[in-house]
Structure 1
Amino acid sequence: MSTLVKEDLFENLLESAPANFTEARQTAKDLYLKLGLPAPKEEEYKFTGITKKLEKSLSNFNQAKPLSVEENLIKESVFQGFEGDVLVFSNGKFLQEVSSTIEGLEVSDILSSSAEIGSIAKAEKDAFAALNQASFSGGISIKVPKKTKVEKPILLLSFNGANDGQVITPRFWIEVGDFSEVTFLDQSISMGEEAYFVNKVVEIKGGLNSHINYYRLQNESNQAIEVSNIETDIQSDARFTSVNISLSGDMVRNNLSLNLLGSNSEGNMYGIYLLNGKTHVDNHTNVDHTIPHAESNEMYKGIFDAQSRGVFNGKIFVRQDAQKTNAFQQNNNVLLSDDAIVNTKPQLEIWADDVKCSHGCTVGQLDEEALFYLQARGIGKVQAKGLLLYAFAGEVMEKIEEESFKNHVVGLIQDRLGSKF
């Protein structure tokens, strides 16, 4: 526990919380005040000094008010080629009046919904999850009925920026019925360069034989600080795939947890973090195998330039009853600068004996022989370097099934790497 008096730091935020989900909020508040924000030597935040960063960067710990978002801005912010529905948020508040109406789905403001707050993303797991549950003032509840195939992707488009306060606390509840399919694209856009803190929680409840894709793009301003807790329950014969792309920000912490609760369930976690400047990104993942005959696949790749810093901590738990489990985890990193740093720690804890599990990590630099080979064939050094790095990142990009989003992300990465012809 931190030695700081945390109720002083977020006292106004807690006191101004909306008067709903009272029991869940009080439980979370008690837990938050017990846990405190992470201390400098706390193991789970050992390489990410988020508490110090918040104290240094923020001056107003009040809830940020919604920003004005015009329809023209929304149109300009939707990436080229996208054909789907758009749900818009301003500092965490759902803007229904400028959002798509999606037929067949139950979509409502989180504050007026019947969401099962805290039933999946447990407040006791993380102080920031507890803080969000105690103080969230906006977000959305999305329920996909049974046997529904949502043909078009759903873009969750968030506009963030300091506005009479620097704390943003969105809460998403997503419930996908049995035998249903849906793809979500989660993208945030910074409105201005002033520092702000996003403390986000996403709870995803996947039914039997459901197929859910959740793709996320983090490309906000260099002053943005973010902690996200995304947790998913996956039932029998269901498949969940997450792809997280982190390109910018000041300090970003991503907590992603998959709970495999049924046989023949499949959980996939992929990520690419392409960092420069002093950007710091920390990916903490957790896969919990509780039932026999389930599979998980995890692959995260990092590219670091300048004074950027990355952290990867991936945990796979295979419970005693989870025989016939297949679990695979890999983390690969390339350092382009002597000042860049990555800390990586893949972990396996296995209590079952009939399983196939593997994990590993690599940290290195570009292959000089491959670079020379490309240059010898008339490709400039900068572009040759970019091509090699894109080939390294491309394995993650191939996991994105939504073509317009994939093309958008590929363009951003190629621009950053200088790998376009």
Structure 2
Amino acid sequence: MTPYASYNDFKEQLLASFRDNEERMNGERKAPLHQIRRAALRQFDQLGFPTIRHEEWKYSNVSGLMKQAFELDETTTLTPNDLAPLEIPNLDGNILYFVNGRYHPELSHIVSPAGQVQITSFASALKSEPDLISAHFAQYANYQENSFTALNTALANDGVVVRVPDNTTVDQPIILRFITDSRTKNIASQPRNLIVVGKNSELMLAESYRTLGEGASFVNVVTEIVLDRDARMQYYKVQDETEKAYHIGTTQVNQTDSSHFYSATVTLNGSFVRNNLNIRLDGQYAEAFMYGLYMPNGRQHVDNHTLVDHAMPNSYSNELYKGILDDNSTGVFNGKIFVRPDAQKTNAYQSCKNVVLSPGATMNTKPQLEIYADDVKCSHGTTTGQLNDEALFYMRSRGIPKDEARTLLLYAFSQDVLSQIKIQPIREYLERVVQEKLGK
């Protein structure tokens, strides 16, 4: 495929895809949901792709998207045998496969009873549960200012919708496995997820992103999460794609009174990765915990943008992100804590720690506090440096070879994040993958 000559070529392809889909619609073109899509498309058309002149994209240049051309809405012939190398050992639960952004029920299995949790594809929910979708779709993730969120809002046609009734604990985790099949073509996809957890209910959910094949991929995913009063959720995102993968993900969380959100984001591989995690604490005594680990090498670029919006009093947030950067890789961390005037007695903490292993690696950090209340406790801090020479010397003096000592120290550094993952098979799998990557 011929690379795009400019941003406008790719942009026009995306706009044309929307128009083609719209022409195949009948009465749905007048539906309120489609009007939201049209508004989002107009916003994407107006905003265009961000450049480094945009403050939020100052360190992240998306021009590499133009170096390849992508197929949209491409089908696949993946079989269970093709997916076998990507399986996580001993992982049980509700495992759903999405290939090139489309749900594949023949590859998936749902084990939880419908009375405990309702799991449907986004495409099916658009037809069977339009009221649910209309009540939540694009109500949290802001497409007015984010062009990639606007693009997803306009074009997304599949993903997952998860709804947990009130006073319910979902015993088995929900694992969403997003696979890009780029064995024969370069693929672009726009998955959309909606997770609604009812009052006093509990859910564990993980998203995983992988690529098969040597072609390029572009995944632009938006996940909206809604936690009702006293709801509790564990959310994990694991991104391990290829050297030709572009991944832009936005997770938007809305919490109400006494809800508890616990997350870990692990980025292992990808040419260009942007993780946006935005949390609005819109209730008293709401709590949010955010952990992140990123390990770029080669010429990989990983950008983590987080926003915690404290909108109500007596809320709490705690954030820890860690990076290990090697070769000529680049890391970005931009974390913002926003405390509104009514959010008195807010406690908010943020920390970002990085180890740079090579003189060619670069880490850009920008912690931010924006506080409009006076009775709060907030702090932020960031460090970037090399391995502790004294610790390395101590281990070598005890007979541990240099490379092994280095790997052990870095693995211990990563454990502050990996140990927070409560789904044991996923944690054990990631610990092994991290050890392997550190040992190279």
Contact 2:100 2:187 (8 Å CA) reproduced: no
Residue aligning to 1:300: 321
Query: Per the alignment, in what secondary structure is the counterpart of residue 124 of structure 1?
Result: coil
Number of aligned residues: 414
Calculate the aligned-residue CA RMSD, in Å.
1.7
**Cα distance in structure 2, aligned partners of 1:196 and 1:414:** 26
Deviates more, 1:355-364 or 1:37-46: 37-46
Report how far residue 96 of structure 1 moved. Answer: 2.1
CA contact (8 A) 1:17 1:137 kept: no
Q: TM-score, with normalisation over the residues of structure 1?
A: 0.95
Distance 2:56 2:89 in 1: 39
Q: One-letter code of the match for 2:12?
A: D
* 2:108 is the counterpart of 1:103: no
Q: The residue matched to 1:334 in structure 2 has which SS?
A: strand
361 and 151 in structure 1: CA distance in 2 versus 1, 3 angstrom threshold:
same
Q: Where do residues 44-63 of structure 1 align in structure 2 (5 Å cutoff)?
A: 44-50=56-62, 52-56=63-67, 58-60=68-70, 62-63=71-72
Asked whether the 8 Å contact 1:107–1:143 carries over to 2, the reply is yes
Distance 2:282 2:52 in 1: 34
1:78 aligns with 2:98: no
User: Does residue 11 of structure 1 match 2:15?
Assistant: yes
**Residue 236 of structure 2: SS of its match in structure 1?**
strand
Alpha-carbon contact 2:96-2:176 (below 8 Å) kept: yes
- CA drift of 1:7 comes to 4.1
Q: Does the aligned pair in 1 maintain the 2:7–2:66 contact within 8 Å? A: no
Which of 287, 301, 320 is the matching residue for 1:280? 301
The DSSP-based 3-state class of the residue aligned with 2:266 is strand
Residue type matched to 2:259 in 1? Answer: A
Distance 1:75 1:150, change over 3 A: farther
1:22 aligns to what? Answer: 34
* TM, length-normalised to structure 2: 0.91
SS of 1:125's equivalent in the other structure is coil
- Paired amino acid for 1:128: F
The separation in 2 between residues aligned to 1:168 and 1:237, in whole angstroms, is: 35
Please, which runs of 5 or more residues in structure 1 have no aligned partner? none
- Is the 1:243–1:400 contact (alpha carbons within 8 Å) kept by the matching residues of 2? yes
Which of 44, 69, 91 is residue 78 of structure 2 equivalent to?
A: 69
The corresponding residue for 1:356 is 377
Of residues 148, 161, 172, the one that matches 1:152 is 172
Does the aligned pair in 2 maintain the 1:154–1:185 contact within 8 Å?
A: yes
Counting only pairs closer than 5 Å after superposition, residues 185-334 of structure 1 correspond to structure 2 as 185-334=206-355
The answer to whether the Cα contact below 8 Å between 1:244 and 1:270 also exists between their aligned partners in 2 is yes
> Please, which moves more after superposition, 291-300 or 33-42?
33-42
Gaps of at least 5 residues in structure 2 are 1-5
Letter of the 1:146 counterpart: D
Describe the superposition over 1:260-313 as per-residue Cα deviations: whole angstroms up to 9, x where unpaired.
Answer: 011111111110001111110000000000000000111100000001110000
Within 1, Cα distance between the matches of 2:109 and 2:252? 25
Identity of aligned residues (%): 38
2:101 matched to which residue of 1?
92
* Inter-CA distance 164–74: structure 2 relative to 1 (3 Å threshold): closer
264-273 vs 155-164, greater mean Cα deviation: 155-164
Indicate conservation of the 8 Å contact 2:259/2:287, yes or no. Answer: yes
Alpha-carbon distance, 1:118 to partner: 0.4
